[in-house]
Amino acid sequence: MKKALLVLSVMLLLVPPLFSNGAKETSTTKPVTLDVMFYSPELSEQYDDMVSAYFKETGVKLEITVLQTDYRSVLTSRINTGDVPDVFMSSAYADNSTYKDYVYDLTNESFISQIEPSALQGVTVNGRVLGYPFLVQSHSFIYNKKVFKDAGITVLPKTLKEFEDVAKKLQAKGIQPFATGFKEFWVLPQTAWQALAPSIGNYGGYEKFVASLNDGSLKFKDIKEMSQVFDLLDLIKAYGGPKPNESDFNDQTSSLATGKVGIIHQGNWAEDTIRKTNPEVEIGFLVGPAGQNAAAAGIMFDSNQTIRIAKDGKNLSAALDWLKWLTTSEYGKNWIPTKIKQMSPIKGAGAPDSQIAVETVGQLGAGVPGYPWFYQMWPTGTEQQLGSILQGYCAGQTNRAQTLDALDAAYSKIAKALQ
Amino acid sequence: MKKRTPASLALTAVTALIAILYLYPLFLVIINSFKTFSEITSNVISLPSSLNLSNFVKAFAIMQYPRYFLNTFIATSIGVVGVVTLSSLAGFKLSRTKTRYSWVVFMVMIAPMMIPFHSFMIALVKIAKSLSLTGSPIGLGVLYWGLGTPLALFLYHGFVKSVPQELDDCALIDGASPIRAFAQVIFPLLQPVTVSVIVINAMWMWNDFLLPLLVLSGSKKALTLQLATYNFFGMYKIDWNFAMAGVLLTLAPAILLYLSLQKHIIKGMTAGAVKT
Amino acid sequence: MTSLSKKKLNKAGVFIGFTLPAFLAILLSVELPFLMSILYSFTKWNGLDKVPVFIGFANYIEALTDDPAMLKALWFTITLTFFTVIITNVLALLLAVILDSDIAGKNFLRAAFYVPNIISLIIIGYIWRFIYGNAFDSFFAATGLPVFMLSWLGDTHLVLFSVVIVSVWHSLGFYLVVYIAGLQTVPKDLIEASMIDGANPFARFFKITLPIIMPSVTVAVFHSLSNGLKAFDVIFSLTSGGPGSATTTIALDIYRTAFVINRFGYGTAKSVILFLLILVLTFFQVRMFKQMEVEV
C-alpha cells in the first residue's frame, strides 16, 4: 500500500513537468507545421512559392494538400473523423453555413480591416466575418482583339442582338464565333446566371430572391427573365462550332489564343492558360448581355474562393499569424497580384498586369455594372446540379419548359438539406 | 514448332491487327508523352519531333517518384500478403466444411462484393482513424485486407475443390498442426489461384484512388503514385505533357508485374473459375 | 463420447482459427462501416453537422416516390450494364476462342488485350476524353471521315456508346483471361472426337465447348454485372455524368447527393437501395446460369 502510494506520488510529481515540457516544446522550440487543404491545383507553383517565403521569414511550415474534384469528399471525411485541417478553402456565401460548426470567427482580427469591404460581403453573416477572401475574380465574355479587328468589328456588343450580329460577322469571315465550354460543369452556370444577374432586382434583391427560392415561394418557371438565359445559351450553341457540348476549358483557351474562335465565356483566371498557348495574344473583356438592355449589361465581379481557419485547431494562433502575414507583409501583399496575377482583396495591393484584370478594373471604374456571384448564395451544390440541367438543355435533352421544371425539382431537393 | 495452316496464319494476322488497334490509345499516350504542351494541342496524332525525355524528368520530380513509389509499394505488398493469407486459409476451410453453417459464413463473407464503396467509405475512414490506420501506407495496406478478401476468398473457395481431399488427411496424420499442414501441403497446391489473386489485388491496390485519397491526403509524406498522377489533371488546366508521362511512370511497374506473372494467371483462373 | 465431443470441439476450433481472421478483416473494412452507414440512412444529416437528426424512413420514401433524377440514373445504369455485360462477354469469349487456338504470338496478344486493365479507370476516363476530343479532331483533319466529326461525348444518345466502348476496352482483358482459363479445361479428346464426327466448328462450340465452360460464363457475367451496376470512376472522369444527365449512373447520383449537395443521410439511403438491387439481380443471374449448367 505504501509502495503504491509512493509510486503514485512520484508519478504525480513527474507527470506535470512532462506535460508542460511537451506543451512548451510545441509552442516555442518545435517548429509549427500548419495543416492546409486548398483547391486549384493550377496554382500549385504559386502556393509552393508562398510556403517557402513564409518558412524563410518565420520558420513556420505550411503543408498544403491541393485537390480538385474530390476536394469536398475528402474535406467532409476529414472533418468527420475529427481531423480538421488548420486552414482550408471553400466557397463564400452558402458555405458560410456549411462549415459553421468548425470555422473561426475572424471579425476581431486586426488584419480584417485591411481587406476591401466589398470583398467581405460574401463571408459576412450577421456582421460576423467567417472567412478570409482569397482572390477577387471576374467572369464575362473574353474576346480576341485581333480577330475582332480583322472582321471589322469596331463597336463592342452589349445586347443579345449585338452579340448575334458580331457572331454573324465572325462567321462570315470563316471564324467560329464562340467556344462554349459547355462540357465543364462550372462554365455553363457562370454563363447562364450572368444573363439573369441584372434582373434579380425585380425579385426584391439578392437575399429575398434566394430566400424565396429556398422556401419554394419562387420557382424558376415563374421567372420570366429566364428566357434571357435560354436565348443566350441558344445563341452561343448556334455559333459554337460543330461540337458545342464537348468544348472544355482547354478548348476554350487554346482556340481563343490561336484565333480559331473570337469569343469565350471565361474569367480572369483563364488568362494565364491563354498566354501559355500564345504569349502575344491581345484579349479584352466584353459585358454579358441581358436581353436587349445595354445599360444593364455588366460583368460578374466577386470574391468567392474563401480561406477558412479551423476554430478548434491546435495551431489556431499560428494560422492567424499566417493570415496576418499574408495581409500585411510585403510578400503577402504582392503574392496575388504579381505571382498569381489576379486581383487581390487587400486594400492598396498592387494591380496585376494581366489584361483582363486591367480591363475589369477599368470597366468598373467607367460605370459598367459589376454583379456579385449571386448563384453562390444558393445552397451548396446548386451550382453543379443546376449546371448539369442547363447542360441537358444545351444538348437537346430537355426543352425550355422541361428545363424549368427540372431546375425547380432539383432546387427543391437541394433546399431540403437546409430545412 | 508445328506447321500452321494458311487459315490460322490469316487469323493470326487479323487478331494482331485488332490488337494493334486496341493498343492505339496507349500508343497515343506514349507518343504524346514526348511532346511539349503546344505540340500536343496543335497535333495529337503526329509523331514527336524528337525523343525528348524532359516531360519524364519533370514528372518524375513533381511526383516525388521514389518516395511515392515506396509508399505505393508498401501499401500494395501489405495488402496483397494479407489478402492471400486470410483468403486462402478461409477459402480452404470453408470449401472443405460442407455444412449449412459454413455456407452461410461463406455467403456473409462474399456479399461485400456487391456493396458500393461510396456508401460506406466515410464510416470506413472513421473506423480507420480510431484504429490509427490513417496517414500511413501501412494502415492503408491493412484496410485493403477486408476489401480484397471477398473476391479472393471466392476464387480460393472454388479452386480448393480441385485439390484431392485425401491430401489434407495425409498431412494431418503426420501429426502436423492444421496450420502447418495447410502451409506445407495445401498452400503450394493452390499456387495457380494464388498468382491470380496476387495479380488482381496488386493491380487494384496499385491503381486505387479514392481510399488512399481519403486515408492519406492529410499527410503529404504518405501519398501514393496514383494520387500524385491525378494532380496533373486540374480543373482549369490539364498539363497533358506531364500527365501522359506521369501515367506511364505509374503504369510501368504494374505492367512489369503482370508480364512476369502472365503465364501463371491463366492456370489460376482455370480451376478457380470452373469449380465454383 | 468425451473424445468425440472433444474432437468436435477441436474441429470447430480449427474452423474458427482458419476463418475468423478473414471474417474480422471483412467486418472491419466493409460490413461494420456499411452497417454504420445504414444507420445514417435513417437520419437527416449533411455529413458535417455534429448531430444527425433521426427521421425514420423518410429518406427511403423520398428516394422511391419523389426522385425522378434517381430513377433516370437507375435506368441509365441498367442500360449501360446491359450493353457492357453482353458486349464484353461475347467479345471476350470470341477472342478467347481465337487466342486458345493454334495461332502465333499468343502470349503477346493476350498481354496486349490485358494492358488496359492495368490502368486505373479514372485515368482511363481522362485518356479517352483526350481521344474523343483532341485525337478525333486530328483524325478528322487527316482522313475527313465523318465518324470523327460526330460529337461522341456531346450527343445525348451517342454518349452511351462512347461510355460502353471505353468500359469494354478497359475490362475485356480480364474476362478474356477468365474465358481462356475456362477453355483450357475442355478435354482435347472430346473436341477431336467431334471433329471425326464431322461436326462443324459452330455446332462444336455451342454443343460441346460452351456447356463445359458454362461455369466460367457464370462467374464472368456475375462479375461484370455487379461492376456495371456500381459504375462510377470512368463516368466521373470521362463525362461527369453529362451531357446533362445523359450518363449519370446511380453510383454517381449517390456520390453527388452525399458530397455535392451535402445530403449524406439521403445519399446513404439510396446506396442501400442500390445494394439490394445488385444483390437481387446477381442472385437471379447466378441461379439462372447455374441451372443452365445443370441442364446441358
Question: Distance, in angstroms, between A97 CA and closest chain C CA?
Answer: 10
Tell me what pLDDT residue A82 has. 84
Residue A81 is classified by DSSP as T
Chain C residues with CB under 8 Å of B171 CB are: none
Q: What residues form DSSP beta bridges with A370?
A: A299
Which pairing describes strands A299-302 and A176-179: parallel, antiparallel, or unpaired? Answer: unpaired
* Contact (CB<8Å) A77/B121: yes
Cβ atoms of A249 and A164 within 8 Å: the answer is: no
In terms of residue numbers, what domain contains C142?
59-290
Of the candidates C7, C74, C101, the one whose C-alpha atom is nearest the C-alpha of residue C277 is C74
Cβ atoms of B221 and B138 within 8 Å: the answer is: no
Note whether residue C256 is domain-resident: yes
Tell me what pLDDT residue A171 has. 96
* Contact (CB<8Å) C243/A410: no
Residue C54 is classified by DSSP as E
Give the span between the Cα atoms of A221 and A232, in whole angstroms: 17
Chain B residues with CB under 8 Å of A83 CB are: 129, 134, 218
pLDDT per residue over B132-178, tens digit each?
998 899 999 999 999 999 999 998 998 888 788 887 777 777 677 88
A-B contacts at Cβ under 8 angstroms:
70
Note whether residue C29 is domain-resident: no
Give the span between the Cα atoms of A410 and A385, in whole angstroms: 7
* Contact (CB<8Å) C30/B233: no
Note whether residue C38 is domain-resident: no
- The owner of cell 471589322 is A152
Touching subunits for chain C (3+ Cβ pairs under 8 A): A, B
Domain count, chain C: 1
For residues B92-130, b (16+ Cβ closer than 10 Å) or e, as one string? Answer: bbbbbbeeeebeebbeebbbbbbbbbbbbbbbbbbbbbe
A249 at interface of B, judged by CB pairs closer than 8 A: yes
B113 at interface of A, judged by CB pairs closer than 8 A: no
pLDDT per residue over A282-341, tens digit each?
999 999 998 889 999 999 999 999 999 999 988 999 999 999 999 999 999 999 999 999
ipTM: 0.88
- The owner of cell 495445401 is B186
Q: Residue A144 is which amino acid?
A: N
Chain B residues with CB under 8 Å of C103 CB are: 4, 8, 11-12, 15
Helix (H, G, I), strand (E, B) or coil at A132: strand
Of the candidates C72, C261, C64, the one whose C-alpha atom is nearest the C-alpha of residue A402 is C72
Tell me what pLDDT residue A418 has. 76
Tell me what pLDDT residue A210 has. 95
Chain B residues with CB under 8 Å of A77 CB are: 121-122, 125, 214
Q: What residues form DSSP beta bridges with A133?
A: A306
Could you tell me what percent of chain B has a pLDDT over 70?
92
Tell me what pLDDT residue B269 has. 64
Would you give per-residue pLDDT tens digits along chain C (296 residues)?
Answer: 456 677 777 888 889 999 999 999 999 999 999 999 899 999 998 888 878 899 999 999 999 999 999 999 999 999 999 999 999 999 999 999 998 887 888 888 888 999 999 898 888 998 998 899 888 988 998 899 999 989 999 999 999 999 999 999 999 999 998 898 888 878 888 877 877 777 788 888 888 888 888 888 988 998 899 899 999 989 988 998 989 899 999 999 998 998 888 898 999 999 999 999 999 998 899 888 888 775 44
For residues A119-152, b (16+ Cβ closer than 10 Å) or e, as one string? Answer: bbebbbeeeebbbbbbbbbbbbbbbbeebbeebe
Tell me what pLDDT residue B276 has. 41
- The owner of cell 494532380 is B231
Q: Residue A252 is which amino acid?
A: Q
Using alpha carbons, list the distances in angstroms from residue A294 to A78, A239, A369, B131, B253: 48, 21, 11, 62, 60
C145 at interface of B, judged by CB pairs closer than 8 A: no
Q: Which residues of chain A have pLDDT under 50?
A: 1-2, 5-28
Domain range summary for chain B, segments of one domain joined by +:
58-275
B13 at interface of C, judged by CB pairs closer than 8 A: no
Tell me what pLDDT residue A14 has. 41
Tell me what pLDDT residue B151 has. 92
C235 at interface of A, judged by CB pairs closer than 8 A: no
Touching subunits for chain A (3+ Cβ pairs under 8 A): B, C
Q: Is A300 left (phi over 0), alpha (psi -120 to 50) or beta?
A: beta
Of A65, A76, A254, which is closest to B218 when you measure between CB atoms? A65
Q: Which of A203-207, B70-74, B183-187 has the lowest mean pLDDT?
A: B183-187
Chain A residues with CB under 8 Å of C244 CB are: 388-389, 391-395, 397-398
Residue to mutate among A39, A64, A75, A77, with most B CBs inside 10 A, is A77
Question: Distance, in angstroms, between C89 CA and closest chain A CA?
Answer: 30
Chain C residues with CB under 8 Å of B105 CB are: 19, 23
Using alpha carbons, list the distances in angstroms from residue B31 to A86, B40, B48, B53: 43, 10, 6, 11
Cβ atoms of C159 and C246 within 8 Å: the answer is: yes
Note whether residue C193 is domain-resident: yes
Tell me what pLDDT residue B138 has. 96
φ, ψ of residue A143 to 5 degrees: the values are: -125, 160
Of C19, C219, C278, which is closest to B273 when you measure between CB atoms? C219
| Domain B58-275: CATH superfamily, name plus number | MetI-like (1.10.3720.10)
* DSSP, residue by residue, A336-349: IIIII-SB--BTTP
Tell me what pLDDT residue A143 has. 97
Longest dimension (CA), chain A: 101
Side-chain-side CA neighbours of residue B208 (13 Å) = 28
Which pairing describes strands A299-302 and A137-144: parallel, antiparallel, or unpaired? Answer: antiparallel
Tell me what pLDDT residue A29 has. 53
Cβ atoms of C106 and C177 within 8 Å: the answer is: no
Where residue C159 sits, what CATH number does that domain have? 1.10.3720.10
Of C21, C128, C271, which is closest to B89 when you measure between CB atoms? C21
B119 at interface of A, judged by CB pairs closer than 8 A: no
